[in-house]
Amino acid sequence: QVQLVESGGGLVQAGGSLRLFCAASGRALSTYDMGWVRQAPGKAREFVAHISWTGSMTSYAASVKGRFTISRDNDKNTVYLRMNSLKAEDTAVYYCAAKRALVAGNYEYWGQGTQVTVSS
């Protein structure tokens, strides 16, 4: 089982940038596909970005494409989400998630989340 801990959230003005971190322990991250999912107050969880276990494939929600970048460093057991040109509507709790690579299905493991607040 893998444990995930997010960090890097905070308060930022619209147009600013933040970098989120997801540190994994318990298992080597190199065998997991990873993703970021967010949840705004009163709204359902929303997919943000995904990266394959090798890092060779990424995908993004339309609302963040071109502004956010997901990356990973398997040697450091860490996944990142670089967020640029932040908007008020990006305000949410951001969760890191993992699923075993090459296994069909949804994310299996979740972090506790980190709050991102964008002031307009």
User: 58 forms bridges with which residues in the sheet?
Assistant: 51
Determine the average pLDDT of the residues in 63-73. 98
43, 20 Cβ separation under 8 angstroms = no
Determine the average pLDDT of the residues in 57-75. 97
Which residue in the block uniquely carries the two structure tokens 């997919």?
47
pLDDT band for position 28 (50/70/90)?
Answer: confident
The mean pLDDT of the chain is: 96
Determine the average pLDDT of the residues in 100-119. 95
Determine the average pLDDT of the residues in 34-43. 96
pLDDT band for position 1 (50/70/90)?
Answer: confident
Helix (H) / strand (E) containing 81: strand 78-83
The reported pLDDT for the residue numbered 114 is 98
The reported pLDDT for the residue numbered 104 is 85
The reported pLDDT for the residue numbered 91 is 98
Nearest Cα to Cα of residue 116 among 97, 83, 92: 92
In 1-120, DSSP assigns E strands to: 3-7, 10-13, 18-25, 32-39, 46-51, 58-60, 68-73, 78-83, 92-100, 109-110, 114-119
